[in-house]
Amino acid sequence: MEKLYAGLDIGGQSIKGVVLDTRGRVRRELSRVTPSSEGATAVLAVIGAVVRELSLAGAIASVGVGTPGGIDREGVIVGIAANISGWYGTRLGEEIATMAKAPCSVRNDGNIAAFAEWAVRGGRSRGLLFVGLGTGIGGGFIEDGRILGGRNDMALEIGHIVVEPWGRSCNCGVDGCSEAYASGPSIGRIATALGRGEEAMLGTLARTAAPAQSWLGSPLAARALSGELFNAHEVYEAYAAGDPLALAVDAIASEALARAISTALAMLAPDTVVIGGGVLAGSPHLVDRIAGLVPRYVYEDAWKHCGFEKARFAHKAGLLGAALYGASLVVDRSELLGLASRASESI
């Protein structure tokens, strides 16, 4: 019987599932809304329905699961980042293994995406840093094929490296995190605040952008003044049209990311930095831009032999990475790398 590898990406907004066959083809893929406010039992019921639907493709050999926040080695949720009420303490790994009747491993979603990007590069990187730009900023580091997870898989929370002390408030309770300047929602909020002439708590990051008077004539600023709120997608649409406010917001986000990534370069010495996530769809130039800014913040040896690349699995690194990580529980390394390469051709 053909082997099938399932992957789940469980977040506060949605529960996504995918099944890959041995040829790396997506046999089934689906997404359901997470009933976040209804508690763990309701969320597990939706996960159960997703697993049942994935199982219609055939018998599942393994399940990999990515989810935000802290997860212990037994797959128990020990940190809350997904905004699901009553989620703490959920024995997610055990529950899903029972549902799927297959081995299951739960990891932090940034780590899972990093694993996918390592595998799709043929496992050649000795040290791969992944940075995912989305609703938040996630990260992961793979050394010789192994996830650097730290305590409860919480390592590489690159979105919570402070890049501007006394800066914008972050959801984590600290001020000045990179996520407060460069996540999708933050990019939108900064554009809104600057367009309206409000304080955006930019600190030294303001030096990287053109002065305020230059964007007063921008169409994006005019929309902000008329009461519109933006997301990153709209900011980058305006960026593509050369809007001066959007250019300023992009400069601020790039600078914040360059500072955070430089810290990671000094600590981990990766040979490859991969940038992905939904925000990058509208701003593919960020990869080169960040690579160009990094030399200002870290010594030459840390960046000189390091390549900066776009995620090959694009915004699907988390979901396909979950399936690949799950497969790594039951196949050997060469089979896994072949599967990753074939899966990348199918997206």
Binding site for Zn ion (CB under 5 A): 160, 170, 172, 174, 177
- By beta-carbon proximity to Zn ion, the closer residue of 11 and 321 is 11
Neighbours of 226 (CB within 10 A): 9
Tell me if 317 sits within 8 A of 276, measured CB to CB: yes
- From 200, 276, 188, select the one nearest 238 (Cα to Cα): 188
Residue 268: CB minimum distance to Zn ion, A: 19
Q: What is the nearest approach in angstroms of Zn ion to the Cβ of residue 157?
A: 8
Q: Which of 36, 30, 29, 28 is nearest to 11 (CA)?
A: 36
Q: How far apart are CA 138 and CA 166, in angstroms?
A: 22
Least distance CB 135 / Zn ion (angstroms)? 13
Output 8 or 201, the one with its CB closest to Zn ion.
Answer: 201
Shortest separation between residue 104's beta carbon and Zn ion, angstroms: 30
Least CB distance from residue 107 to Zn ion, whole Å?
21
For 34-72, the DSSP string reads --GGG-HHHHHHHHHHHHHHHHTTS-EEEEEEEESS-B-
DSSP 211: P
User: Rounded to 5 degrees, what angle do the CA atoms 228, 231, 235 make?
Assistant: 85
Crossing angle of helices 244-268 and 184-196, rounded to 10°: 140
Minimum CB separation of residue 226 from Zn ion in Å reads 31
